[in-house]
Chains A and B, each alone.
Chain A
């Protein structure tokens, strides 16, 4: 796998960064590592304060991926930024509910709603 492979597509909507996962399955360890690094660089390097993560492509994700999302949430909060998730399919939403992470993360139905009042 090429080191430079983009695992997220980044868009700017006004002052909000929308990062869309390109993978259907966020399972494999090395892939999760890569995705994590690309997400973290939005905060650590680019200092983006308002971020929406778009899950519309994602069909599977593992607990290791949840770990990266928790770390991402902490990083964003660490710079007093805001993080929202959107377009999560019902199976995956259930994963968030089972692990009670739906209480930790701000989850919106779709991109438009995630951008509202951000």
Chain B
């Protein structure tokens, strides 16, 4: 087991409102989870949540404005990862986002990102303004890897 100092990593970056830049940060963060051998399911969930949160910040928050940036702060250790993603947009009220699983919304092609983040993360929190989301994922215990999901 490598010394603790190697397993803990914190970084903060600012990226332009460009989804390709978002992809690069996503790869960097996923690499940190893979180095620490987080279970595949955790890595899958984190990639999905990062994708949704970064696209929300870049497209909906900053409206792809080249003058605006997105701040990403990441802390990872052996047991958990926490990522803050903050855009420079006007924010939104999370409670106002309609439930995409209700009958009337099921066929609408948008509005599922936040739901997926909630499902796959241990914690997801927005600030009051709604321009910053915190994603937290704790390492799943090994036995969870063979848990539900394979049933029909």
Partner-B contacts on A (CB < 8 A) = 27-30, 60, 62-64, 66-68, 70-71, 73-74, 90-91, 93-95, 98-101, 103-104
Please state if B48 and A99 are interface contacts (CB–CB under 8 Å): no
- A28-B23, A95-B116 are contacts. A60–B47 as well, Cβ < 8 Å? yes
Query: Cβ of A104: which chain B residues have Cβ within 8 Å of it?
Result: 106-107
- A64-B55, A91-B149 are contacts. A99–B108 as well, Cβ < 8 Å? no
Does any Cβ of A come within 8 Å of B77's Cβ? no
Q: Which 6 A-B pairs have the closest CB atoms?
A: A67-B109, A63-B112, A100-B101, A63-B113, A70-B109, A98-B119
Q: How far is the CA of A113 from the CA of B34 in the complex (A)?
A: 35
Query: Cβ of B108: which chain A residues have Cβ within 8 Å of it?
Result: 70
What DSSP secondary structure best describes chain B's contact surface? helix
Query: Cβ of B112: which chain A residues have Cβ within 8 Å of it?
Result: 63, 66-67, 99
Q: How far is the CA of A36 from the CA of B55 in the complex (A)?
A: 17
Q: 1/0 per position for B94-120, CB-CB distance to A under 8 A?
A: 000000110000111111110110010
Q: 1/0 per position for B34-73, CB-CB distance to A under 8 A?
A: 0000001100100110011001000100000000000000
Q: How far is the CA of A103 from the CA of B150 in the complex (A)?
A: 17
Please state if A99 and B115 are interface contacts (CB–CB under 8 Å): yes
10 A-B residue pairs with Cβ-Cβ distance under 8 Å, sorted by A, are A60-B51, A62-B55, A63-B110, A63-B112, A63-B113, A90-B149, A98-B115, A99-B100, A101-B106, A104-B106
Q: How far is the CA of A26 from the CA of B115 in the complex (A)?
A: 18
Please state if A28 and B41 are interface contacts (CB–CB under 8 Å): no
Please state if B106 and A91 are interface contacts (CB–CB under 8 Å): no
Does any Cβ of A come within 8 Å of B122's Cβ? no
Please state if A68 and B109 are interface contacts (CB–CB under 8 Å): yes
Q: How far is the CA of A80 from the CA of B107 in the complex (A)?
A: 17
